[in-house]
Amino acid sequence: MRQYFDVIIIGAGIAGCATALALRQQLPHLSILLLERRKNTPQSFRIGETLPPQAMALLQQLDLLAQFRLRGDVVSLGNRSAWGSSQLSENLFLYSCYGHGWHIDRASFDNWMAQQAERAGATILHDTTVTGIPVYERQHWHLGVTQNDHAARNIEAPIVVDASGMSVFFSRSRNINVVAQDKLIAIFRYYQTDDTSAADNGGDGYTLVESCSYGWWYSAGLPHGRRVIALMTDSDLARTENLLQEAIWRDALLSTQHTCTRFAHAEPLTSLHIKPAHSQQLERSCGQGWYAVGDAASTFDPLSSLGMYKALRHGLLASYAIRDDLLDKTGTCEKYQHIFNAEFRHYQHMHRQYYSLEQRFANAPFWQRRQRTTVSSDSSRNIYDTVMDNGFP
Same domain, 44 and 124: yes
Residues listed for the chain? 393
Residue 160 lies inside a defined structural domain of this protein:
yes
**pLDDT recorded at residue 388:** 31
| Nearest in space to 12 (alpha carbons), one of 115, 108, 84, 134 | 115
Residue 97 lies inside a defined structural domain of this protein:
no
Rounded to two decimals, the pTM is 0.89
Same domain, 25 and 114: yes
Which residue did the predictor score with more confidence, 343 or 149?
A: 343
Torsion of Cα atoms, 196 then 198 then 200 then 205, to 10°: 140
* DSSP assignment of 33-50: EEE-SS-SS--S--S--E
pLDDT exceeds cutoff 50 at 384: no
Q: How far apart are CA 309 and CA 148, in angstroms?
A: 32
Residue 91 lies inside a defined structural domain of this protein:
no
Q: For residues 195-224, give the mean pLDDT.
A: 78
- How does DSSP classify residue 54? T
pLDDT band for position 194 (cuts 50, 70, 90) = confident
Range of the domain at 203: 184-276
Same domain, 37 and 129: yes
**pLDDT recorded at residue 257:** 96
Residues 6+ apart with CB under 8 A from 391: 52, 53, 54, 91, 96, 305
CATH number at residue 160: 3.50.50.60
CATH number at residue 258: 3.30.9.100
Domain boundary among 276, 299, 331: 276
| Nearest in space to 104 (alpha carbons), one of 224, 187, 269 | 224
pLDDT band for position 149 (cuts 50, 70, 90) = confident
Same domain, 127 and 175: yes
pLDDT tens column, 311-366: 999 999 999 999 999 999 999 999 999 999 999 999 999 999 999 999 999 999 99
Q: For residues 217-226, give the mean pLDDT.
A: 90
Same domain, 164 and 119: yes
Domain boundary among 305, 327, 343: 343
Which residue did the predictor score with more confidence, 42 or 73?
A: 73
First to last CA, the chain: 44
**pLDDT recorded at residue 304:** 93
pLDDT band for position 40 (cuts 50, 70, 90) = confident
Structurally, the chain folds into a number of domains equal to: 2
Same domain, 236 and 332: no
Same domain, 172 and 272: no
Same domain, 167 and 193: no
Residue 145 lies inside a defined structural domain of this protein:
yes
pLDDT band for position 372 (cuts 50, 70, 90) = low
3-class DSSP state of 334: helix
**pLDDT recorded at residue 393:** 28
Same domain, 289 and 235: no
**pLDDT recorded at residue 199:** 40
Residue 174 lies inside a defined structural domain of this protein:
yes
Residue 166 lies inside a defined structural domain of this protein:
yes
Q: How far apart are CA 341 and CA 339, in angstroms?
A: 6
Same domain, 190 and 291: no
Same domain, 121 and 19: yes
- How does DSSP classify residue 95? G
| Nearest in space to 295 (alpha carbons), one of 310, 275, 274, 317 | 310
What is the side-by-side strand order in the sheet with 153-157? 128-137, 140-147, 153-157
Proportion of the chain above pLDDT 90, given as a percent: 75
- How does DSSP classify residue 44? S
Q: How far apart are CA 250 and CA 288, in angstroms?
A: 49
Same domain, 39 and 130: yes
Strand partners, 227: 191, 221
pLDDT tens column, 234-292: 999 999 999 999 999 999 999 999 999 988 788 999 999 999 999 999 999 999 999 99
Q: For residues 378-385, give the mean pLDDT.
A: 36
Strand partners, 207: 79
